[in-house]
């Protein structure tokens, strides 16, 4: 089963912009895109975007997602201390009928 | 607002069967898929499987031989059973709703609070 590859960690300064990446194969990311989740320590994940750049109600416009080929990206602008968290991408593999998660990226806001 | 409330045994011995249930409150049960996901201590998320209101299931191939997910539409609940557990099954287990667009699985938009399951002799 193919996986999704995310960098383990990203560090950026306060009020800067962070771009997190998620690379998969054409069956998943390249097909219908990825969903992005944010998880703070000790809490369940929270959906930030789905099907590339659709935000659920209540999610800040500072979070935007995109896709280029087999790589999905999450861009967070104007970084705030509360953005420090783990970020996971996920995608549905329609050929195998399974959800696949990336390994997660720990975002540190300096 | 939809809420998921989950419960089940938190401490198991090796070879026992893990059993968790998730109840859906405040929203429709049909039109979605309902998933179980787990997270071992200090590690990432692993999808276990999903079910819809009519009982159609999909499972992670790596766990499929030990997993059963079932649904009780009369109670708006779905359940997970994982047999023959070992220490490697120690994790926080979450239930979650998958929003759908026609047949497209879009993302898991509602999550339970998680249940910590420890497998130890």
Picking from B32, B36, B37, the residue whose alpha carbon sits closest to that of residue B76 is B32
Q: What angle do CA A7, A41, B28 make, to 5 degrees?
A: 95
Say if residue B23's pLDDT is above 70: yes
For A49-72, give one letter per residue: b (16+ CB within 10 A) or e.
bbbbbbbbeebeeebbbebeebbb
Task: Report d(CA B82, CA B117) in Å as an integer.
Answer: 11
Task: Report d(CA B60, CA B118) in Å as an integer.
Answer: 21
pLDDT band at A32 (very low <50, low <70, confident <90, very high): confident
Residues of chain B in Cβ contact (below 8 Å) with chain A: 35, 44-47, 50, 58-62, 94, 96, 98-99, 101, 104-109, 111-114
Say if residue A52's pLDDT is above 90: no
Q: What are the chain A neighbours of B61 within 8 Å (beta carbons)?
A: 1, 96, 98
Q: What DSSP string describes B35-97?
A: EEEEE-TTS--EEEEEEETT--EEE-TTTTTTEEEEEETTTTEEEEEE-S--GGG-EEEEEEE
pLDDT band at B84 (very low <50, low <70, confident <90, very high): very high
Say if residue B104's pLDDT is above 70: yes
A contact residues 29-68, partner B, Cβ 8 Å cutoff:
32, 35, 37, 44-47, 49-51, 54, 56
Per-residue pLDDT tens over the stretch A53-106: 899 999 999 999 999 988 999 999 999 999 999 999 999 998 899 999 999 999
Say if residue B10's pLDDT is above 60: yes
Say if residue A1's pLDDT is above 70: no
The pLDDT of residue A63: 97
Minimum mean pLDDT range among A27-31, A60-64, B4-8: A27-31
What share of chain A has pLDDT > 70, as a percent? 97
What the block records as the tokens of B22 is 């998730």
Give the Å distances, CA to CA, from B12 to B8, B40, B70: 11, 15, 21
Residue listed under structure tokens 């609070």: B113
């Amino acid at each position: 089963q193919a996986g999704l590859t995310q960098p383990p960690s990203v560090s950026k300064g306060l009020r800067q912009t962070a771009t997190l990446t998620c690379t998969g194969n054409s069956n998943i990311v390249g097909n219908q895109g990825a969903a992005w989740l944010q998880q703070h320590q000790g809490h369940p994940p929270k959906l930030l975007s789905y099907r590339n750049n659709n935000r659920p109600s209540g999610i800040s416009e500072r979070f935007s997602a995109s896709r280029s080929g087999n790589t999905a990206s999450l861009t967070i602008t104007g970084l705030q201390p509360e953005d420090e968290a783990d970020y996971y991408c996920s995608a549905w593999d329609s050929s195998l009928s399974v959800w696949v998660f990336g390994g997660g990226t720990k975002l540190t806001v300096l | 607002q939809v809420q998921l409330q989950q419960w089940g045994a938190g401490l198991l011995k090796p070879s026992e069967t893990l059993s968790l249930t998730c109840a859906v409150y405040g929203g429709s049960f049909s039109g979605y898929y309902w998933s179980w996901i787990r997270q071992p201590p200090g590690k990432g998320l692993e999808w276990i499987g999903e079910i819809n209101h009519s009982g159609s299931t999909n499972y992670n191939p790596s766990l499929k031989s030990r997993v059963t997910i079932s649904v009780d539409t009369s109670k708006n609940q779905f359940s997970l059973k994982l047999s023959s557990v070992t220490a490697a099954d120690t994790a926080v287990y979450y239930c979650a709703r998958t929003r759908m667009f026609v047949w497209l699985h879009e993302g898991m938009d509602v999550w339970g609070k998680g249940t910590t399951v420890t497998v130890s002799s």
